[in-house]
Each structure stands twice: as structure tokens, then as C-alpha cells.
Amino acid sequence: MNKVMSSASLVLAVLLCATPTITHAYSSDSYMHEAAYKDSLNRAVGGKPEAPGYWVNNAQETLYNILKAERKVAEAKNVIMFLGDGWGVPTITLSRILKGQAVDNVTFGEEGQLHIDTFPNIGMSKTFCADAQIADSACSSTAYLRGVKANVGTLGVTSDVRLGNCNAQNVDTNRVSSILAWAQAAGKSTGIVTTTRITHASPAGTYAHSASREWESDVDVPLMYRDKCSDIAAQLILEEPGKNINVILGGGRQKFLPVDVTDSESTNGERKDRKNLVELWKSSKNSDVNATYIETLNQLLMVDATKTDYLLGLFSPDHMAYYHDQLGDQDPSLTDMTEKAIQILSKNPKGFFLFVEGGRIDQAHHNNQALRSIWEAVEFDRAIKKGDDMTSDDDTLIVVTADHSHAFSFAGYAARGSNITQIGIRLGNDLKPYSGMSYANGPGWQPFTSGGRHNIANDPIHNVTYQQVPLVPLVSETHGGEDVMIFSKGPHSHLLAGVHFQSYIPHAMGYASCLGSGLTFCSENQGNSANINGLSISAFLALITNLIVISIFMT
């Protein structure tokens, strides 16, 4: 073993001398932690591994904390669902290392901690959709927000609606309500926050019913359907439950403005129906409530949460900038938005439901930009910590999960403390280096030369804009089909431990917070019709399924 270790160290030392380019820190351009980031190879060579007592103490402390965290028996007054779009396990692990190295500045990186590492309950979600082995963000949002599996590309409708079938979208019994609507029905405040367009598939899963996730504004709907099927932005502003959402923060301003209206960033709207949905949103609010529309970080920071009932923030014409590229006073971070949303929503004594999406983890992966995606995941974890810090485990259920994974892997035998963009210390059989982070497919593909595979030795691999070189050329890298994680804490969070269909998640959240028409903690404890005591499983299922089928479609 020691011999193997010392051989590896020798190879590493040789590489250190021979390839000066790999001593670069991340070429993070503007990232605030760049100065704090220490060269990874120095860590690997100079860092001292922990003494055995460290691991023992850590394990005993973890055991103590888990034992101490008794199962909460109260109703979850608040529910916060954090959704990492495309946040698969390799992405999570790499974000832990990057955070350890570049933010927390621990010795190596791998021993660092994400906030989600502190969550007591871990489960797995089976993400396939009604008609597909591997999910997209629309059918999956229908599962994790509404409790039924749907077809690829469809939002808020049952699997009786095929992609693009406008007529089927409008059949009442094909429309499924979301946990956000259940929360509104119970008098709770509601909010949605994302880094993508607010009309994108994941956040739209909370409020829209659409046969196609693409129908974000009127011009996105095929002409033949425009007067029959309302677009997603219009549904958000003009229909329930969207128009009742208290806090709406994200990007996608163009979807809300007419073509002849120019926004604060000199971009024209795209709506041809001439509807100015921002103005319609403002005028829809009665004079006895405080409603504010904002477009910048500075405006967000100036919002007085104690006096705000409704907040609509559209910070970008399209998706918001990647965390790495955000400008000082234009773009709030996901953490900024989460903080303001909780400040506003937590005023309601009945509690709230908040959906927060780290939406661009997925988009950077689609572009084979691994480092950029991992930074998005680091920021996603920071927003989770903010939400957790602002609420109590006694009355707030926090659920963190992903819609699907990506065709992304983390492989090779890099030394402890290696920079995550580091090429492996071992060469491929073609005697060319390979990256530890790699994709099965995507747009970063490079054609073979007479010498074979593209040689990445001199590529700018530490830059966030660098595209890893995948195996198969594709215009957009694909999702991955393996199960994704569910991290949870707070009242009844143990219900989410184990391996579950993705469509189980809102049922468990509804139970914990006494929302929806299924079995709830409150109904179970008040002896009403959903009480399972004294019922056989088959009798219970017959009863509860009937109740849900009757009411789940009441949107």
C-alpha cells in the first residue's frame, strides 16, 4: 500500500515539474473567492492528513447529533422545497470539494462540508416519467410538486395529455393541482424563486398546466392554439394559483412584456398579444395590499419585507446570469432571493410554502461547462443554508432534491486535494491526459485528428467557460437517468428516507404540513375520514385514493 502511495506521489511530483500549467488556480475571472483559492497540488503534496482521532471524534459527534434529533411530532407549519436542476450525485460531491477548497479553505477539500451534509434524512428519488426512462424538468416537476408522473415536456397535467396536445390540456380531469395550490387553499403564503426564467419548467410546475413546457409566452404557443391554450407567463399572472403567489423572483422578463415595450436593460418584450403582464400584475393587486415590482439587486435589498405582501422581481430579460457572471447591482444571487422571500412569507401566522430552484446547474451541464455548473451547485447549497438558518427545525420541513441527473461523471485517480478541474495523474492508453470530470455526450466534442483523441493538455481547463470534451457529439448534453438524492430535515422528514417514486415527494410534504387531499398528520390525529387506525391497507387505499381522485384535480 505504502509502495503504491509513494509511486503515485512520485508521478505527481514529476507532473508538477513537467507541466507548469496545472499549477493554476481556477481562472475564475471575477469570482470573489479567487484570491482565497490555494493551489491544489500544494495541498496534495504539502497537506498533512488528519490523525486517526479526527475521524473517531467526527463519527462520535455525528452519532450524537443524529440520536439527539428526535423525530418531530408537530405539524410542519412551513415547507421549503429546494430543487437543484440536474443536481446529480457527482455534482454534489464535486461542489463539496470546490467549496472546501475555494470558499472554506480547508486543508484539502474533500473533508469540507456542504450544508446538506448536515441533514438527518436521506432518500432517493426514482425520476423516470410516464413515457420516458430519463426525465426532463417538466414531467419531473409534475411528479415532485403534484404527486403524479406525467409525459415528457408536459406540465401540471396527467399522462393522458401527450406533449403538445392543447385540447387535452384543457380537460379538467387532466389537470393536476400542486402543493403550492394546496398551501394557498390552507391560507398559507406562497413563493417561487429561481435563477432561470420564472416561466421555465421547474418553477412553472408550481402554477401552470401546459401540454408543452415550451409555451412560455403567447408567441411560443403554435398559432392554431393561441386562443385555446394560455401560455405559461399569462397563467402565472392571470390565473390561479399563480396570481395569488406572494413572492415571485427570477428571470424571463421578455415573456411578460409586449414586443413594443423596452425594459430597463434595453431588451424588448416578445409578446404579440400586446399584454403587458407586469402592468396587469400591478393592477390586479388591491389598494389595501402592498405589492412591489422590481428588476435589480439594489431594488431587492431596499424592499421592506415587513411592509410587503406581494413581490414580483424579474431581474433579467432571459435566464439570470450564472453566479460567476453576476454584475454588482443587477443580479441578486439565489441566496439573496431566498432570504427576501422567507422574510416576506414568514409573516403569515399560518405558515408558508416556498419553492427555490438552483436552475442553472442543469444549463451549464447541458453546455459541458462542468466547473461553471459546480459553482452553481455551491451557490445552491449556500441558499439552502440561508433558508435553514432563517427557520426552525421545530416547525419547518426542508426538502432538497433534484429533478434528474446528468450524463456526467467524476472519475480517475487524482490525489487528495486536487483541483477538481485537474487532469488525471495517469494517462489514457493513448498516452494523452484525461479529465476527472467528463461527459458521455454534449457540445464540447472535438473531432479526432490523425493522432486520435483531442489532447486536452494545453486546454484552458480551469476556466469556467471551458467545455469538457465528451465522448459523443450532441448539440446539448443530455440528462442522466440514475436516481437522485432527497435530503430532508424538520417535522416528519423521516418520511422521505428510503427509495421512492419522485411522485411520492409532495404526498409526504403534504402529510407533514397538513396540505392536500391525501393522508395528513392533522387528519390522522383528528380521527376524521382519513384516519388509518382500524382500517386494513386495502380499505385505507380505496378510501384515500377516492378522496384524492375527487379533489386532486380541483385546481
Where does this chain bind Zn ion (CB under 5 A)? Answer: 362
Rounded to a whole number of angstroms, the minimum distance from the CB of residue 125 to Zn ion is 16
Contact 406, 86 (CB under 8 A): yes
Closest to 284 measured CA to CA, from 321, 255, 245: 245
Given the complex with Zn ion, which of 95 and 101 has the nearer CB atom?
Answer: 95
End-to-end Cα spacing for the chain: 62
Rounded to a whole number of angstroms, the minimum distance from the CB of residue 201 to Zn ion is 8
Given the complex with Zn ion, which of 362 and 483 has the nearer CB atom?
Answer: 362
Closest to 334 measured CA to CA, from 241, 183, 203: 203
What span, in angstroms and rounded, lies between the C-alpha atoms of 344 and 357?
18
Amino acid at site 161:
V
Q: How far is CA 380 from the centre of its chain?
A: 7
Helix segments in 430-520, DSSP class H: 505-513
**Sequence-ordered list of residues with C-beta below 8 angstroms from that of 200, at least 6 positions apart, any chain:** 137, 194, 213, 216, 250, 252, 319, 359
Rounded to a whole number of angstroms, the minimum distance from the CB of residue 142 to Zn ion is 15
What span, in angstroms and rounded, lies between the C-alpha atoms of 182 and 32?
41
Place of cell 436521506: 122
Given the complex with Zn ion, which of 357 and 362 has the nearer CB atom?
Answer: 362
Contact 174, 341 (CB under 8 A): no
Given the complex with Zn ion, which of 244 and 409 has the nearer CB atom?
Answer: 409
Count of CB atoms within 10 A of residue 555's CB? 16
Give 146's Cβ-side CA count (13 Å radius). Answer: 35
Amino acid at site 242:
G
Rounded to a whole number of angstroms, the minimum distance from the CB of residue 85 to Zn ion is 6
Helix segments in 466-529, DSSP class H: 505-513, 521-526
Radius of gyration (C-alpha) of the chain in whole angstroms: 24
What span, in angstroms and rounded, lies between the C-alpha atoms of 275 and 137?
27
**Sequence-ordered list of residues with C-beta below 8 angstroms from that of 449, at least 6 positions apart, any chain:** none
CA-based angle 22:48:56, to the nearest 5?
A: 130
Given the complex with Zn ion, which of 362 and 376 has the nearer CB atom?
Answer: 362
Given the complex with Zn ion, which of 201 and 509 has the nearer CB atom?
Answer: 201
Rounded to a whole number of angstroms, the minimum distance from the CB of residue 86 to Zn ion is 5
Rounded to a whole number of angstroms, the minimum distance from the CB of residue 206 to Zn ion is 18
Question: Known catalytic residue: 137?
Answer: yes
Catalytic residue among 137, 373, 418, 493: 137
Given the complex with Zn ion, which of 336 and 362 has the nearer CB atom?
Answer: 362
Contact 348, 386 (CB under 8 A): no
Place of cell 380521527: 527
**What letter does residue 203 receive in the DSSP assignment?**
H
Q: Cell numbers at residue 499, please?
A: 427509495
Given the complex with Zn ion, which of 88 and 412 has the nearer CB atom?
Answer: 88
Backbone angles phi, psi at 227, to 5 degrees: -90, 0
Rounded to a whole number of angstroms, the minimum distance from the CB of residue 363 to Zn ion is 7
Of all residues in the shown chain, the one whose CB is closest to Zn ion is: 362
Provide the sign of the torsion angle of the four alpha carbons 417, 31, 344, 231, taken in this order.
negative
Rounded to a whole number of angstroms, the minimum distance from the CB of residue 484 to Zn ion is 13
Rounded to a whole number of angstroms, the minimum distance from the CB of residue 373 to Zn ion is 11
Helix segments in 19-128, DSSP class H: 40-46, 52-68, 89-102
What span, in angstroms and rounded, lies between the C-alpha atoms of 149 and 147?
7
Given the complex with Zn ion, which of 125 and 422 has the nearer CB atom?
Answer: 125
| Residues annotated as part of the active site | 137
